[in-house]
A and B are shown apart, each in its own frame.
Chain A
């Protein structure tokens, strides 16, 4: 594999499709990706109400294979992939020795001795490097196979009905966070019931040369059911409403999984050592340094990444992600705030509607002006199952 030219973004196998559809393209994590096709709000609403089709081929696919693959991953990650049955998938993280998050991942156990690790595009190189280093001494081969896969997601309440007739996999039997080998539109795929939108949906890993055929077949079959192509802009507001963290916003090297409220992914009771164990054991026992909370803006001005969260007019936190919520019709945000503020604002919020103790004390500094905000439990949106 030749090293990618940093000046020139990488292109997915669906580049020509996006161009035909007239997508606005943007550079994201070194890849040229569709930001939106028409209106990102309409794409967002289509996913909530019907279905959306996403090109996620920028995501990193790393294969970990060999007799020592499970043990290598147990040491490298905070989860316990050795306890997964083949066909299962799990959300997990890879941390540095100091407990900081290097990336959040989905790990698929494809076979007894074969795992697929799906990493964020921007972190694929870091994850690949860390896995190689940590697999040292284990009988496991690590290969970055990103270029060998296209990844298409179909997400939304109509996803199963659209995909069902086009695959030889009985979707009724496909549980959430499992993967199955089969075909879609006659092409071999690995199908997983996973996603990043808060809706039911599927992710399809295919050969790059099959991606266009799969995309156009799904697109043609789904148009009558309200399926539309959806870009990264819609993907971001969908995941934010669903309260899902984004690496670089809610997660980073200065964040532990516990900070993000995701301590459950750290399996401190697994046997053997793993990278970050000592620091994460301490983090699990220490009082939280900060708390990830949901905020609802009280005006139409939108909180954005990096804006200070104010309590009694003083900064006590920082917005990590913010956007106008298409579903709720108000600005929403996730933010790290000091635990005392989270407790006080949460109490006020849960209190009676008339005597709201937190009223007027919580605000977001939006370019120099304090706009009132309310703390609200995450997620902002939960689908009705």
Chain B
């Protein structure tokens, strides 16, 4: 299981990469391994407002489905256009080509509550 140092994380197994006012979001390697083969991802369309900690989509795999939670407050700018055609990208490259959303942070967004790589790793160890 890989947990890149340069990313932030949520307890719901999303990763977040913040560049200025834009957050890129996906699910972690741990999450994709637990889910198994991802067959479908539903995410909000561009323009949709999202609220940190609230469900904003779902990830379907062979065995189960899980909610995707918005890690920050903001507005969706873009969903990964390749995921619909090839949801398996979430499995093969969760931190790269398998990204799911880009969100423009709202002015009062507070990403300080996100977990560091170290904190997230500890959390996944606890779950085992």
Which residues of A are interface residues toward B (Cβ below 8 A)?
A: 24, 35-36, 39-41, 233, 236-237, 300-302, 304, 323-324, 326, 367
B125 interface hit (Cβ, 8 Å):
no
Residue B62 contacts which of A24, A40, A300, A367 (CB distance < 8 angstroms)? Answer: A40
Cβ of A277 to closest chain B Cβ, rounded Å: 39
Q: Given A39-B91, A301-B42, does the pair A323, B33 have CB atoms closer than 8 Å?
A: no
In the assembled complex, which residues on chain B have CB atoms less than 8 Å from the CB atom of A300?
A: 39-40, 60
Q: How far is the CA of A300 from the CA of B64 in the complex (A)?
A: 13
* Complexed CA–CA distance, A41 and B60 (Å): 13
- Which positions 48-83 of chain B face chain A at CB distance < 8 Å? 58, 60, 62-65
Interface string of B90-106 (1 = CB under 8 A from A): 01000000000000000
6 smallest beta-carbon distances between A and B, as pairs: A300-B40, A324-B39, A41-B37, A302-B60, A40-B62, A39-B37
Sample (12) of A-B pairs whose CB atoms are under 8 Å apart: A35-B36, A39-B36, A40-B62, A233-B36, A233-B62, A236-B63, A300-B39, A301-B58, A301-B60, A302-B60, A304-B64, A324-B40
- Smallest CB-CB separation from B41: which chain A residue? A300
> Quick one: closest A residue to B36, CB to CB?
A40
Q: A302 with B65: in contact, given A24-B33, A233-B36 (CB under 8 Å)? A: yes
Q: Which residue of the partner chain, among A39, A233, A301, contacts B63 with CB atoms under 8 Å?
A: A233
Binding site for A on B (CB under 8 A): 33, 36-37, 39-40, 42, 58, 60, 62-65, 91
Nearest Cβ in chain B — how far from A35, in angstroms? 8
Main secondary structure of the interface of A (DSSP, over half): mixed
A41 to B, closest residue via Cβ: B37
- Say whether, besides A36-B36, A40-B36, A233-B36, A323 and B65 are in contact (CB < 8 Å): no
B64 CB → nearest A CB, Å:
8
B13 to chain A, nearest CB (A): 16
Contacts of B65 in A (CB 8 A): 302, 304, 367
Closest approach, in angstroms, between the C-beta of B45 and any C-beta of chain A?
16
Q: Which residues of B contact A301 (CB under 8 A)?
A: 40, 42, 58, 60
- Give the CA-CA distance A148 to B40 in the complex, in Å: 43
Distance in angstroms from B107 CB to nearest chain A CB is 32
Which residues of A lie under 8 Å from residue B62 when comparing CB positions? 40-41, 233, 237, 323-324, 326
A40 lies within 8 A of B40 (CB): no
Supply 11 further A-B pairs (C-beta < 8 A) apart from A304-B64, A324-B40: A39-B36, A40-B37, A233-B63, A236-B63, A300-B40, A301-B42, A302-B60, A323-B62, A324-B60, A324-B62, A367-B65
Chain B nearest CB, measured from A158 CB (Å):
23
Q: Taking the nearest CB of chain B, how far is it from the CB of A134, in angstroms?
A: 36
Nearest CB in chain A: distance from B38 CB, A: 10
CB distance from A48 to the nearest CB of B (A): 15
Cβ-closest chain B residue relative to A323: B62
Residue of A24, A302, A304, A323 ringed by the most chain B CB atoms within 10 A: A302
Nearest chain A CB to B94's CB is how many angstroms away? Answer: 14
Please give the distance in Å from B84's CB to the nearest CB on chain A: 9
Chain A CB within 10 A, most for which of B36, B37, B64:
B37
B42 cross-chain contacts in A, Cβ below 8 A: 301
* Complex CA distance for A89 and B40, rounded to whole angstroms: 41
Which of A24, A35, A324, A326 has most B Cβ within 10 Å? A324
The chain B residue sitting closest to A326, CB to CB, is B62
Contacts of B37 in A (CB 8 A): 39-41
Which chain A residue shows the least CB distance to B40?
A: A300
B33 (CB) vs chain A CBs: closest residue: A24
Q: A40-B62, A41-B62, A233-B62 are known contacts. Are A302 and B39 too (CB-CB below 8 A)?
A: yes
Give, as a whole number of angstroms, the nearest-CB distance from A373 to chain B. 16
State in angstroms the CA–CA spacing of A233 and B35 once bound together.
Answer: 11
A175 to chain B, nearest CB (A): 33
Q: Tell me, in angstroms, the Cα distance from A324 to B33 when the chains sit together.
A: 18
Nearest CB in chain A to that of B67: its residue: A367
Q: How far is the CB of A165 from chain B (nearest CB, A)?
A: 33
Q: In the complex, A202→B39 CA distance in Å?
A: 30
